[in-house]
Homo-oligomer: A and B are copies of this chain.
């Protein structure tokens, strides 16, 4: 195992509403409180994607940060930035957009797109106090 990791940070601004359509309004409000506000609310989500792998001797890179940036922007950021996560994003259809569900959905999207390295962790900071991390099924 190489023991080497690189992490790329990207930011997107989106809105969402936490609501489980299979539950009653009363249950939703009990569970999600102000996050259930009908018209939604939003965040500057800070996304950190970590990949692991070997250093290539020729380049001294594990993976070119520019390539990692391009993959994240094309596959994730272009689809969620300045969007409403409940209605505007194809790969989030029928997903309750909690931070936990978002990182797992992002993992599905990114896992096969990282060439020459292995996806290790996806962190999502929803506010400066609340962060979620997913490392795949271990």
Contact = CB atoms under 8 A, between A and B. Distances in A.
Contacts of A118: none
**Total identical chains:** 6
A41 B39 contact: no
B37 A83 contact: yes
Contacts of A100: 4, 6, 55, 60-62
Contact of A81 (B1, B34, B81): B34
Contacts of A14: 41-42
Interface string A2-20: 1111111111011110101
30 contacts: A2-B138, A3-B136, A4-B103, A4-B104, A4-B133, A4-B134, A5-B132, A5-B134, A6-B132, A6-B133, A9-B131, A11-B128, A13-B42, A15-B42, A16-B42, A32-B59, A37-B84, A37-B88, A41-B42, A41-B81, A42-B42, A43-B43, A43-B44, A44-B44, A44-B127, A55-B98, A60-B97, A60-B100, A61-B100, A65-B130
Interface of A: 1-11, 13-16, 18, 20, 22-23, 31-35, 37, 39-44, 55, 58-62, 64-66, 69, 81-84, 87-88, 95-101, 103-104, 127-138
